[in-house]
Chain A
């Protein structure tokens, strides 16, 4: 079993935490997330033009690039994380151009060498899978796809074909960090997705509080929190790890115990 599969094989739902690489003390921030109970780490690769992201993650991208973060730095954060945390799944998330700049094979090989388990590329839909997907699969890295409220039943099979790791359900049609989806719509969507795939389903976009996370964890296999954590990195800089730990602990206990309360 891969690290991602083992994590989702546990009986409890998983907390997936996103931060942007190079925004503050990345190693300390990542350690804080893991120590506080994050089950999967999504490490954002900064990009000058994050067109699917809201203000919080846009600002994080600019802070990171402003501090001089390079692709080599991101890969180094990943490999050092892997050395410190041999069992925690690590997913790189970002945009196509930095990933394909030196060729998809180069990126897949470098990510595999750094111990990366999966890659979420926001702007490579199934129609353009050739641009990165085959290279990732060849190196045993899961191409993690997104499904959204606009992904209808006719289109879903195409999204699922070639998806690995888990399916990331983007609960709102919009950008990251903005509004929250109605709980009923999430429940309906997850039930619909579950009929079509055995992949674990993680739900994200607009999830900020332990209460929201707990509600989603009752139906989904994972809950993704990003902008709320990224805002902490932005506000507290070098002092972010302590604050990240606070929020992540609360999120983790809410997510991990969601189904016990339910039962």
Chain B
């Protein structure tokens, strides 16, 4: 019997579909480009030299493998399962985003592209993209919603220091989805020389698969580290979800480990009962946007609605199509935590472990704080600590009523 029949790790199909999700919903001008990208990516996957260069850069430039850390004081405070963190916030540039950027820029250079574009919300993907462009000497244009440019001034400055041109996007709501629209418009007008480094596991095929695969270094390392440190796999994986690349990176290598449960944590903003949230899976419905069919925040006419989250990195009205499929297949559970709960999670980690997390994984911390106490003391929760919080101290100070 074919052992792959029951595998959760064989998606997408050859058309880029994860069940009814995913696909290639792009304008005809881009279609030959995404087909070409897929061909080149397949060649790169089959080339040991490509993987070797990727691995070498992750080790010596990014600082991988990231540590697997047992967090004793938060474990004690929560009084249930052992809490472990995959420390991807210790990567160069301070988040998991760089893993994917290294992979994509190597592919861009392999394809002979000479100009890089990207979209960014909180600025983490923009900084990571600007970083790899500086490292390899390629010109870089970052599209960022004008609202986010205001909210994330330190990251805008970082990108500029790294030599990127940051273009504020004023169309639509002037946030991440509008930056992505502008990235697609740039790409369609500069197809001959430009590579679009999409920052999350979304967009037209092969991006969701490709980004997941580059990010899977997180779960592959964590799985080996766990086996080496405690001799068994964790009982529960937890990760926050905006587009969902850090969660897929952690989850994917464990998907066929039937005893490992998984929990994706969306941003509930001010609460799922209103419209001020960014929980596409729990509060949205299937539709087509930015090249793929997935869960979206939308009205009854299919107009996209603006998400809200305290975290600019989770504030996107869609989600990677593989998460939509994992939800429908039942393999992964999804929950959402509010801005206030995330803020408590943020402070909890600062206080108990001496780690200032980004607001994105603070959502995952809040979920861990709910679920760990309900689990036996010999069970293990592994959470992806996917970003550090330096960028968020101004937002947190404001929410806590502190003037800096």
- A interface list, Cβ under 8 A from B: 47-55, 58, 62, 65, 70-71, 95-101, 122-125, 127-128, 131, 145-152, 155, 159, 170, 173-175, 178
Contacts and interface: CB of A to CB of B under 8 A. Distances in A.
A174 B27 CA distance: 10
Interface string B252-278: 000000000000000000000000000
Interface stretch (B97-105, B184-192, B373-381, B388-396): B184-192
Contacts of B305: 48
A96 B24 CA distance: 12
Contact of A71 (B27, B177, B188, B301): B301
A144 B278 CA distance: 35
Contacts of A96: 25, 288
Interface stretch (B56-64, B229-237, B289-297, B321-329): B289-297
Contacts of B298: 97, 101
Contact of A147 (B28, B171, B181): B28
Contacts of A70: 301
Contact of B172 (A48, A52, A123): A48
B32 interface: yes
Contacts of B172: 48-49, 58, 62
Contacts of A148: 27-29
A58 B171 CA distance: 8
Q: Is the interface of A mostly helix, strand, loop or mixed?
A: loop
A57 B127 CA distance: 31
Contacts, number: 120
A97 B296 contact: yes
Q: Is the interface of B mostly helix, strand, loop or mixed?
A: mixed
A51 B189 contact: no
Contacts of B189: 173-175, 178
B300 interface: yes
Contacts of A150: 28-33, 191
B294 to A, nearest CB: 11
Contacts of B296: 97
Interface string B151-173: 00000000000000000000110
Nearest to B301: A71
11 contacts: A47-B302, A49-B304, A50-B181, A52-B29, A70-B301, A97-B302, A97-B304, A98-B301, A101-B300, A128-B25, A146-B27
Contact of B25 (A48, A65, A125, A151): A125
Interface in B168-218: 171-172, 177-178, 180-181, 184-185, 188-189, 191-192
Contacts of A49: 172, 177-178, 181, 289-290, 304
